[in-house]
Amino acid sequence: MFIGLDVGGTYTDAVLMDGRKITKKTKVPTDNDNLFDSLLNALDPLLEAVKGKNLERIVLSTTLITNLIATKNVDPTALVIIPGPGLNPSTYDYKVPHTFLLSGAIDYRGREIDPLDEQEIKTCAQKIKEAGLKRAVVVGKFSQRNKKHEEKVASYLQEEIPGIRVAMGHQVTGRLNFPRRVFTSLLTIATQERFRTFYSEVLKLLEQRGISAPLYILKADGGTISFDLSAKKPVETIFSGPAASTLGGLALTPKGETTVVVDIGGTTTDLALILSGEPLLASRGAHIDDKLTHVRAFATSSAAVGGDSCLQVQDGLLQIMPYRKGAAYCLGGTHPTPTDAMRVTGITDIGDEKQAVKAMELLGKDLGIGPQKAAEHVLEKTVQRIAGEIEAMFIAWEQEPAYRIWELQQRKKIRPQNLVGIGAASPALLPLLGKEMGCSALTPPDADVANAIGAALAKTNLRLTFHFDTQRNFYFIEETGVQEKLTDIDSLADAESFSMRRLKEEGERIGISAKEEPELVYSELFNMVRGWRRGGRLIDVCVQFPTGIIEYLEEGDA
Amino acid sequence: MERKTGLVFFPAFDWAISPTHPEREERLLYTRDQLFEEGIMDLPQISEYKPRMATHKDIARAHFCVPDVATQITEAHLFAVGGALVLADALMNKEITNGFALVRPPGHHAMRVAHGNRGFCNINNEAIMIEYLRQKYDLNKVVIVDTDVHHGDGTQDMFYHDPDVLFISFHQDGRTLYPGSGFCDELGGPNAFGMNINIPLQPNTTDEGIHYVLENLVLPIIEDFKPDLVVNSAGQDNHYTDPLANMRFTAHGYASLNEKLNPDLAVLEGGYAIETALPYVNTGIILAMAGLDYSWVREPEYRPEDFYETKDRMDYTKKLVSYLWEVWKNREELGAEKYPRNGDFLELSRHIYYDTDSIREQQYEDIRLCDDCPGYQVIRSRGMYPYGSSKLIEAIGIHPRACKSCQEEARKLYEEKKKDYQGVDVIYLQDKVQDRYFQYSKDGDVEVTDEQQTTR
Per-residue pLDDT tens digits for A487-527 = 889 899 999 999 999 999 999 999 898 889 999 999 999 99
- How confident is the model over A54-66, as a mean pLDDT? 88
Could you read off the pLDDT of B249-267 as tens digits, one per residue? 999 999 999 999 999 999 9
- How confident is the model over A462-478, as a mean pLDDT? 95
Question: Which residues, including other chains, have CB under 8 Å from residue A498's CB and lie 6 or more apart?
Answer: A466, A489
pLDDT at B453: 86
CA–CA gap between residue B146 and residue B124 (Å, rounded): 13
Average pLDDT value for chain A: 92
Q: How many cross-chain Cβ pairs, A to B, lie less than 8 Å apart? A: 114
Q: Is A163 exposed, middle or buried (0-12, 13-18, 19+ CB in 10 A)?
A: exposed
Question: Which residues, including other chains, have CB under 8 Å from residue B244's CB and lie 6 or more apart?
Answer: B22, B149, B178, B237, B270, B272
Could you read off the pLDDT of B314-325 as tens digits, one per residue? 999 999 999 999
Nearest to A409 among B9, B75, B279 (CB): B75
Name all domains of chain A by residue range, CATH numbers in brackets.
78-187 (3.40.50), 303-447 (no CATH), 462-545 (no CATH)
Confidence grade of residue A21 (pLDDT, cut at 50, 70, 90): confident
**Is B109 tagged catalytic?**
yes
DSSP A217-232: EE-TTS-EEEHHHHTT
- How confident is the model over B433-441, as a mean pLDDT? 97
- How confident is the model over B69-75, as a mean pLDDT? 95
pLDDT at A514: 85
pLDDT at B268: 98
Q: Do A86 and B19 touch (CB under 8 A)?
A: no
Could you read off the pLDDT of A180-204 as tens digits, one per residue? 999 999 999 988 888 888 889 999 9
Domain with CATH 3.40.800.20 in chain B: 5-333
Note the Cα A260 to chain centre separation in Å.
17
Beta carbons of A175 and A292 less than 8 angstroms apart: no
pLDDT at A290: 83
B158 CB near a chain A CB, below 8 Å?
A: no
Could you read off the pLDDT of A65-83 as tens digits, one per residue? 877 777 766 778 999 999 9
Lowest mean pLDDT among A17-31, B107-121, B197-211: A17-31
Percent of chain B whose predicted confidence (pLDDT) is above 70: 100
- What are the backbone angles phi and psi of residue A142, rounded to the nearest 5°? 60, 25
Three-class SS of residue A558? coil
B20 CB near a chain A CB, below 8 Å?
A: yes
> Is the predicted pLDDT of residue A156 greater than 60, yes or no?
yes
Three-class secondary structure assignment of A397-408: HHCCCCCCHHHH
CA–CA gap between residue A73 and residue B126 (Å, rounded): 54
B36 CB near a chain A CB, below 8 Å?
A: yes
Confidence grade of residue A555 (pLDDT, cut at 50, 70, 90): very low
- Domain made up of B5-333: CATH architecture: 3-Layer(aba) Sandwich (3.40)
- How confident is the model over B110-115, as a mean pLDDT? 98
B48 CB near a chain A CB, below 8 Å?
A: yes
The 8-class DSSP code of residue A122 comes to H
B100 CB near a chain A CB, below 8 Å?
A: no
The 10 Å Cβ neighbour count of residue A140 is 31
Confidence grade of residue A535 (pLDDT, cut at 50, 70, 90): confident
Q: Is A515 exposed, middle or buried (0-12, 13-18, 19+ CB in 10 A)?
A: exposed
A93 CB near a chain B CB, below 8 Å?
A: no
- How confident is the model over A428-443, as a mean pLDDT? 94
Q: Do B39 and A179 touch (CB under 8 A)?
A: yes
**Which residue in B37, B40, B50 has the most chain A C-beta atoms within 10 A of its own C-beta, making it the best mutation to test that interface?**
B37
Three-class secondary structure assignment of chain B: CCCCEEEEEECCCCCCCCCCCCCCHHHHHHHHHHHHHHCHHHCCCEEEECCCCCCHHHHHCCCEECCCHHHHCCHHHHHHHHHHHHHHHHHHCCCCCEEEEEECCCCCCCCCEECCCECCECCCHHHHHHHHHHHHCCCCCEEEEECCCCCCHHHHHHCCCCCCEEEEEEEECCCCCCCCCCCCCCCCCCCCCCCEEEEEECCCCEHHHHHHHHHHHHHHHHHHHCCCEEEEEECCCCECCCCCCCCEECHHHHHHHHHHHCCCEEEECCCCCCCCCHHHHHHHHHHHHCCCCCCCCCCCCCCHHHCCCCHHHHHHHHHHHHHHHHHHHCHHHHHHHHCCCCCCEEEEEEEEEECCCCEEEEEEEEEECCCCCCCEEEEEEEEECHHHCEEEEEEEEECCCCCHHHHHHHHHHHHHHHHCCCCCCEEEEEECCCCEEEEEECCEEEECCCCCCCCC
Confidence grade of residue A406 (pLDDT, cut at 50, 70, 90): confident
Lowest mean pLDDT among A122-131, A548-557, B134-143: A548-557
* A88/chain B closest Cα distance in angstroms: 6
Q: Do B39 and A404 touch (CB under 8 A)?
A: no
> Is the predicted pLDDT of residue B273 greater than 80, yes or no?
yes
pLDDT at A218: 96
What sign does the CA torsion over A483, A488, A489, A494 have?
negative
**Where is pLDDT greater, at A556 or B302?**
B302
pLDDT at B293: 97
pLDDT at A69: 77
Rg (CA), chain B: 21
Please list the residues that pair with B7 across neighbouring strands: B48, B100
Could you read off the pLDDT of B338-396 as tens digits, one per residue? 999 889 999 999 999 999 999 999 999 999 999 999 999 999 999 999 988 999 999 99
Q: Which residue of B has its CA nearest to A113?
A: B300
Confidence grade of residue B1 (pLDDT, cut at 50, 70, 90): low
Q: Do B10 and A403 touch (CB under 8 A)?
A: yes
Residues 499-538 of A with CB under 8 A from B: 524, 526-529, 532-534, 538
Beta carbons of A210 and A32 less than 8 angstroms apart: no
- What are the backbone angles phi and psi of residue B171, rounded to the nearest 5°? -165, 170
Confidence grade of residue A558 (pLDDT, cut at 50, 70, 90): very low
Q: Do A176 and B37 touch (CB under 8 A)?
A: yes
- H/E element, A393: helix A371-398
CA–CA gap between residue B64 and residue B383 (Å, rounded): 12
Which residues of chain B neighbour A176 with C-beta distances below 8 Å? 33, 36-37
Please list the residues that pair with A484 across neighbouring strands: A475
- How confident is the model over B187-199, as a mean pLDDT? 97
Percent of chain A whose predicted confidence (pLDDT) is above 90: 73
How far is the CA of B86 from the CAs of A525, B6, B103, B210, B270, in angstroms? Answer: 29, 9, 12, 30, 21
Q: Do A179 and B279 touch (CB under 8 A)?
A: no
Q: Do B275 and A109 touch (CB under 8 A)?
A: yes
Note the Cα A528 to chain centre separation in Å.
37
Q: Find the helix packing angle between A178-208 and A35-50, rounded to 10°.
A: 50
* B220/chain A closest Cα distance in angstroms: 31
CA–CA gap between residue B125 and residue B142 (Å, rounded): 15
CA–CA gap between residue A202 and residue A61 (Å, rounded): 13
